[in-house]
Structure 1
Amino acid sequence: MKLTAWAVERDGERGRDVHLLVTVEAESDAPRAPVAMNLVLDRSASMRGAPLSAAVEAAQLLVERAGPKDYLGLLAFDGVPEQLVPLRLMDAEARAELSESLSALDAGEGTALHEAVESGAAAVRRMFIPGARPKMLVLTDGEPSVGRRSLADFRALGSKVAESGITLHAMGLGRHYLPEILEALTGPAGTGFTHVDDAEGLPVATAALVAELFGEVGTEARLHVRPIGFTELLCRHRYPARVEGDSMSVGLGALSSAFPRRALFTGQLELAEWSLQVTTSWAERGDTRRVTVPVQRVLPDSPEGRFVRAVGAELDLVAAEASAWKALLRRNPTAAEHALAHAEEFLRELVRLSVEQVPAKRHVDRLADLRLAVERRSGDVPALGVRRARAADAHTGLSIVQPALPIVRKARN
């Protein structure tokens, strides 16, 4: 594992602050575990046309990426879920069958999302593959219209799936899905979800998913941070966190090769002399490993310090953007303008820092849409904006926004 912990001390609003960025990344040549994954694909009426084609394209890329020791299955759902292809070892025959089943999908009526996830998880639990971590990937563009629909039901379902040992991933397609439902499903597993507004963004999003799903080398990763000389310590990313004795423990979920997990902490200093003790733990091939991560103090304007600051500025930008959309939804244009001003300032900070790994340009279009909505004070745009802002918040909050790896298509014989 590549482990780094960079700490930057700076003046804050209430005195001296320390910003700690911890990165955990598996080596690119580390042996990965086989994948056992059920693809749960929405084929409801709203998916007809381009959305269904996009979902099928994403699923086909996953099929192409699967290795000879991986297991994949396909459950399609509209008003009723149907396991079209059971989990099978991806030999040539099974790969061809799954690809043909995807190509033959037609749109139906209704969206039984809750039942589909339940059924898909049940199919995964019935198959035990030694050494493989069971997974599910949900691709959907709509809100549920059949069966259970409350957020509480989906939170309970997400917890149930995670407690059964299944890691659930999700991709929201189009502009009309409910990010809070996908967050409820994926939050207990610590995976977060990807959102794609249009077909143009699909290759980038799918490339990131491929890297994560087919590069897993460790599971149940956690960070343990013990602050000394601090009055408080906050985890800025939205990982599941808890107190363990005199330390904060943060769950990172699974670790994939060439797919770093990062967590940013901000602490308020009480003493001039301070320290941070960082350890990380993860499960690898049945063994639990625990390693101490040396904390390196870096200057704010060093390359490492600028990177730490850029990660924080991006998190602040996304939070301000979400606040602006929510203010518009509450018909409070003054608060929306104020939040937008903060978001634009954080964007300028990203531009000034000019950190390649945290590019400012990926936020420009979204803030332009927000500026237009604030100036128009429109009543029909904010609901969409809140969904997009919440989706971006969940995505960035789990520290999986990064330049996507290129998609490498496997040659067919």
Structure 2
Amino acid sequence: MKLTAWAVERDGERGRDVHLLVNVEAETDSPRAPVAVNLALDRSASMRGAPLAAAVEAAQLLVERAGSKDYLGLLAFDGVPEQLEPLRLMDSDARADLAESLSLLQAGEGTALHEAVESGAAAVRRLFIPGARPKMLVLTDGEPSVGPRSLADFRALGSKVAESGITVHALGLGRHYLPEILEALTGPSGTGFTHVDDAEGLPVAAAGLVAELFGEVGTEARVHVRPSGFSELQCRHRYLARVEGDSLSAGLGSLSHAFPRRALFTGRLELADWSLGVTTTWTQNGDTRRVAVPVQRVLPDSPEGRFIRAVGAELDLVSAESVAWKALMRRNPAAAEQSLKAAEEALRELVRLGVDEVPAKRHVDRLADLKLAVERRTGELPALLVRRARAADARTGLSIIQPAIPARKAGN
């Protein structure tokens, strides 16, 4: 693992603050563990036609990329979930059966999302595969219409599934799914969810998820920070954090190739003489690794200091953007305008910092759409844009930022 911890001291609103950024990145040549993935695929009426065809194509990519030691299963759901293919080792026969089941999928009626996740997770729990990581991948474009529908129900379910050791990944398609529900399902697993505007973008997003699923080399990663000389310390990312003795611990979830995990902590100083003890733990090949990470103090305008500031600015941006959309939905344009200004200031800070690893351009179009919605003040909100913003907030808040996919050259 590549482990770094950088700390920068700056003036804060109530005195001197220290910002600590811990980076955890799997080595590209680290061997990955096999996975057992149950794919829960929405086949409700709204998926009929191009969306279902694109979802099947994305699922076929999962089958193609699975290794010889991986297990895959298929659960399709409309008003009723149905485990069409049990989790099986991906030999040639299993691949053929799974591919055929995918090709025969037809749209139905209703969306029993809660029961689908519950049933899919139960199928994963019934099968023990030594060394393999149990996972679920949920692909849906619809709001639940059958069974439990409240956010509280899905929060309880997401926590229950994560506590059983199963990691939940999700992809929301189009303008009908509820981002709050997908965040409730995936947040406890430390994964967040991915948003796709339309069926055409689904294969690209699926490729990113496949890379994340099949690139995992470590699990149950945690960062432990022991402060000295501080009056308070908080984790800026929305990981599940807890106090452990004299330390603050944040769970990062799984570690995959090409998906560095970051944890930003901010603390208010009480003494001029301060220190931070950082330890990172994770499970790899069945063994728990524990490594102390030396903290390097950096200047605000050094490359590392600018990186820390950029990560904080991006967190501020996506959080303010999400608050602005919520304010618009509550028909509070004044609050939305205030949050928009905060998001735009954070975007300007990103532009000023110019950090390649935290590019400002991936936020420009969304904020332009938000500004237009705030200026209009009335009329129906563009649901697609709301969901896109909430997905960006969820993934950024858990520091899962997929590297940009290079543009395809003409003729390729």
TM superposition score category, shorter chain reference = over 0.9
Q: Deviations over 1:288-328 (max 9, x none)?
A: 11110111111212211111111111110111111211222
Gaps of 5+ in 1: 408-413
CA distance in 2, matches of 1:386, 1:126: 37
Aligned to 1:108: 108
Aligned to 2:402: 402
Q: Which secondary structure state, in structure 2, belongs to the residue aligned with residue 336 of structure 1? A: helix
Q: Does 1:164 align with 2:191?
A: no
Q: Which secondary structure state, in structure 1, belongs to the residue aligned with residue 250 of structure 2? A: strand
Give 1:93 shift. 2.1
Q: Kindly report the root-mean-square deviation, in angstroms, between the aligned alpha carbons of the 2 structures.
A: 1.7
Aligned to 2:314: 314
Aligned to 2:343: 343
CA distance in 2, matches of 1:54, 1:356: 32
Please show how residues 12-411 of structure 1 align to structure 2 within 5 Å: 12-381=12-381, 385-404=385-404
CA distance in 1, matches of 2:200, 2:4: 34
Q: Deviations over 1:256-284 (max 9, x none)?
A: 12321111111111222211110011112
Give 1:203 shift. 4.2
Give 1:9 shift. 1.3
Give 1:385 shift. 4.9
CA distance in 2, matches of 1:384, 1:13: 36
| Paired letter, 2:152 | A
User: In 2 relative to 1, CA 378–388 (structure 1 residues): closer, same or farther, beyond 3 Å?
Assistant: farther
Q: Which secondary structure state, in structure 1, belongs to the residue aligned with residue 301 of structure 2? A: coil
Q: Which secondary structure state, in structure 1, belongs to the residue aligned with residue 143 of structure 2? A: coil
| Paired letter, 1:311 | V
Give 1:383 shift. 5.7
Give 1:206 shift. 2.2
CA distance in 2, matches of 1:285, 1:405: 30
Q: Deviations over 1:83-120 (max 9, x none)?
A: 11111111122212212222221111000111111111
CA distance in 2, matches of 1:406, 1:371: 28
CA distance in 2, matches of 1:168, 1:5: 28
Give 1:360 shift. 0.9
Q: Deviations over 1:227-265 (max 9, x none)?
A: 111111111110000011111010111111232111111
Q: Which secondary structure state, in structure 1, belongs to the residue aligned with residue 271 of structure 2? A: coil
Q: Which secondary structure state, in structure 1, belongs to the residue aligned with residue 321 of structure 2? A: helix
Give 1:198 shift. 2.5
Contact 2:55 2:199 in 1 (8 A): no
CA distance in 1, matches of 2:50, 2:303: 43
CA distance in 1, matches of 2:242, 2:385: 31
Contact 2:37 2:137 in 1 (8 A): yes
Contact 1:207 1:405 in 2 (8 A): no
User: In 2 relative to 1, CA 344–201 (structure 1 residues): closer, same or farther, beyond 3 Å?
Assistant: farther
CA distance in 2, matches of 1:245, 1:270: 19
Aligned to 1:411: none
Contact 2:366 2:385 in 1 (8 A): no
| Paired letter, 2:297 | R
| Paired letter, 2:170 | A
Q: Which secondary structure state, in structure 2, belongs to the residue aligned with residue 342 of structure 1? A: helix
Contact 1:357 1:402 in 2 (8 A): no
Contact 2:168 2:189 in 1 (8 A): yes
TM-score when normalising by structure 1: 0.94
Q: Which secondary structure state, in structure 2, belongs to the residue aligned with residue 290 of structure 1? A: strand
Q: Which secondary structure state, in structure 2, belongs to the residue aligned with residue 31 of structure 1? A: coil
Give 1:404 shift. 4.3
Give 1:204 shift. 4.1
CA distance in 2, matches of 1:150, 1:46: 21
Q: Deviations over 1:197-216 (max 9, x none)?
A: 22454344223212211011
Q: Deviations over 1:44-81 (max 9, x none)?
A: 01111232223222212111110111110111010111
CA distance in 2, matches of 1:49, 1:357: 38
Contact 1:28 1:257 in 2 (8 A): yes
Aligned to 1:2: 2
| Paired letter, 1:139 | L
CA distance in 1, matches of 2:212, 2:277: 28
Contact 1:158 1:185 in 2 (8 A): yes
Gaps of 5+ in 2: 408-412
Q: Which secondary structure state, in structure 1, belongs to the residue aligned with residue 149 of structure 2? A: coil
Contact 1:207 1:406 in 2 (8 A): no
Contact 2:40 2:116 in 1 (8 A): yes
CA distance in 1, matches of 2:342, 2:201: 27
CA distance in 2, matches of 1:299, 1:42: 50
Give 1:405 shift. 5.9
Q: Which secondary structure state, in structure 2, belongs to the residue aligned with residue 183 of structure 1? A: helix
| Paired letter, 2:179 | P
CA distance in 2, matches of 1:331, 1:165: 40
Give 1:33 shift. 0.7
| Paired letter, 1:241 | A
User: In 2 relative to 1, CA 114–406 (structure 1 residues): closer, same or farther, beyond 3 Å?
Assistant: farther
